Amino acid sequence: MYMRTKIIIISSLLWALTTSVAIAAPYCAVFAWGKVCDYNDLNECLRAAGSDGECKINQKEDKAPSGTAPFCLVTPRGTECIYDDAPACRMAASINTPAFANKVVCAENPNR
């Protein structure tokens, strides 16, 4: 009985770890040595990157960027590349900001 309980607990922990790693956030802090893609907030990513790195849109996010327009609205829900100019994208970001508390940004489409 004890061994079976131990196996169930270890299996549950492994499952939890693998599923949490699979969930990707919209921003990556990119460094010379690699990148860390677990930031839902651009400001959080910029702080983590500091002067040694930069922040980029995570192209391997759970929800891949949608649309082909030059500018993208990046939110915790996903990335929508549907804006033809930066001012329209920034306006959409400012409208969405209250709901997401500064976690929305307008960025250039990484697929162009």
Determine the Cα–Cα distance for residues 12 and 19; give it in Å rounded to an integer.
Answer: 11
- Using DSSP's 3-state secondary structure scheme, residue 27 falls into strand
- Residue 35 is assigned to a structural domain of this protein: yes
Domain count, the chain: 1
HSE (CB half, 13 Å, CA atoms) of 44? 15
Which residue range is the domain that position 86 belongs to?
Answer: 24-108
- Residue 4 is assigned to a structural domain of this protein: no
HSE (CB half, 13 Å, CA atoms) of 104? 16
Question: Greater confidence, 95 or 88?
Answer: 88
- Residue 9 is assigned to a structural domain of this protein: no
pLDDT one-digit tens code per residue, 22-32: 457 888 999 99
pTM of the model: 0.57
**What integer is the mean pLDDT of 66-90?**
90
pLDDT score recorded for residue 3? 54
Has residue 65 got a pLDDT over 70? yes
Mean pLDDT value across the chain:
77
